[in-house]
Amino acid sequence: MNVLTVTHHIHAGGIVIATIRDVAKLANVSVATVSRYLNQNGYISKDAEDRIKDAVGKLNYSPNTMARGLAGYKTNTIALIVSEISNPFFSALAKAVEDTATKLGYTTLLANSDRNSLKEIRYIEALKKRHVDGIIFATQMLATNEINELLGAKIPIVSIDRASSEQAVHNISMLQVNHYKGAVMAVEHLLSVGCKNIAHISGPGIVIPAKDRLQGYIDTLTRYGRFTPSYIVEGDFTMESGFKLTQDLLARHPEIDGIFATIDLMAIGSLKALLRSGRKVPEDVALIGFDGIEMTGLTEPEISTIAQPIYEMGEQAVYQLIHQIEDKSSPIQLKQLDVKLLARSSTTGLP
């Protein structure tokens, strides 16, 4: 008869916790095989998988429980989940997060959800297994209650650009800019340069910043008696959609003399369509975007934009997250940063 001897780790609370070696011994596999199973990385035979699963159950083994149970356990690692890393806004945000985290002694893991909720869920599960100390969410695909349910309220999080009303309900820290105010500024700027028929290339309605910017556009033009519902088209945050939707707008409404694109990438696509159609910018059609990415200063003409303080957003998100990691009693916060108008030649005609 084989006698199983199991070695355990005991933390300060006196609770006995099995190790990965215990699981490997009980399942009669190598530690590396158990690691592949836990991280869902690499090939494992069905027989070995079943034995590992059985051993994990018998030993009540949990990597997360072990890691979080140890007094003072920290990996000094945080994660940033973004919607679309190919968008320069998120690239700039990621740089700010990494720079700030490095300065404070933390490593940053970057996850790109591609605006896919299932992919985001998989990332969250993977980050839990890596024992990250906290997560910054710059995504909109999952509801806040879904995120809290997945994380079990055990990992500090900071969310960028979610609805303020969710903070009190879900007890999370948030960082926002005033998208509504920025949209009002954009439309009023187009009106100030003489535009009378202003179109809006919006983003998906599920995305809160796009929703707020659309409302700012509608309210401002309604106030001035110039709102036309058919001047609104919905894009997908790509240059290609900005290009195609501008072509469609010009075909249906040749009288349009101003365009407000909800993000700079779509404004760049819109500029290409305007110039290809033979329109002069801004003489025939004035154009403004939103975000303040560097590319808008490299086009010809340069594109006016409502600039977000992208680097500051990344900095503030990291400061708040690490404060919560290192002081569990620290209160949640809601911070709102301001935007500013960068008036360039696509609206002013000035170099």
Secondary structure (3-state) at 35:
helix
Whether 54 maps to a domain, the answer reads yes
Whether 349 maps to a domain, the answer reads no
The CATH number of the domain where 172 resides is what?
3.40.50.2300
Task: Kindly state whether residues 40 and 118 are assigned to the same domain.
Answer: no
Task: Kindly state whether residues 198 and 284 are assigned to the same domain.
Answer: yes
Whether 116 maps to a domain, the answer reads yes
Rg (the chain; Cα; Å): 25
Whether 296 maps to a domain, the answer reads yes
Task: Kindly state whether residues 219 and 121 are assigned to the same domain.
Answer: no
DSSP 312: H
Whether 23 maps to a domain, the answer reads yes
Whether 346 maps to a domain, the answer reads no
- Among residues 13, 30, 63, the one where a domain terminates is 63
Check: CB of residue 147 under 8 Å from CB of residue 127.
no
Task: Kindly state whether residues 170 and 206 are assigned to the same domain.
Answer: no
Distance of CA 126 to the CA centre of its chain: 17
Task: Kindly state whether residues 301 and 250 are assigned to the same domain.
Answer: yes
| Amino acid identity for residue 218 in this structure | I
The 3-state DSSP composition of the chain as helix, strand, coil percent (nearest 5) reads 45, 15, 35
Task: Kindly state whether residues 224 and 104 are assigned to the same domain.
Answer: no
Question: How many H helices and E strands in the chain?
Answer: 14, 14
| Amino acid identity for residue 1 in this structure | M
Whether 345 maps to a domain, the answer reads no
H-only helix segments in 259-309: 264-276
Task: Kindly state whether residues 191 and 290 are assigned to the same domain.
Answer: yes
| DSSP H/E element including 182 | helix 179-192
Task: Kindly state whether residues 184 and 295 are assigned to the same domain.
Answer: yes
Q: What is the pLDDT of residue 68?
A: 43
Q: Other CB atoms closer than 10 Å to residue 147's CB: what's the count?
A: 23
Task: Kindly state whether residues 257 and 322 are assigned to the same domain.
Answer: no
Structural domain range at position 38: 1-63
List, run by run, the mean pLDDT of 10-residue segments along the chain (351 residues): 36 53 89 77 82 85 51 77 93 96 93 87 85 89 69 80 55 87 98 98 91 97 98 97 98 98 98 98 98 96 98 96 86 89 95 75
The domain tally of the chain equals 3
Task: Kindly state whether residues 35 and 9 are assigned to the same domain.
Answer: yes
Calpha distance 231→236 (Å, rounded): 17
Calpha distance 159→144 (Å, rounded): 9
The CATH number of the domain where 17 resides is what?
1.10.260.40
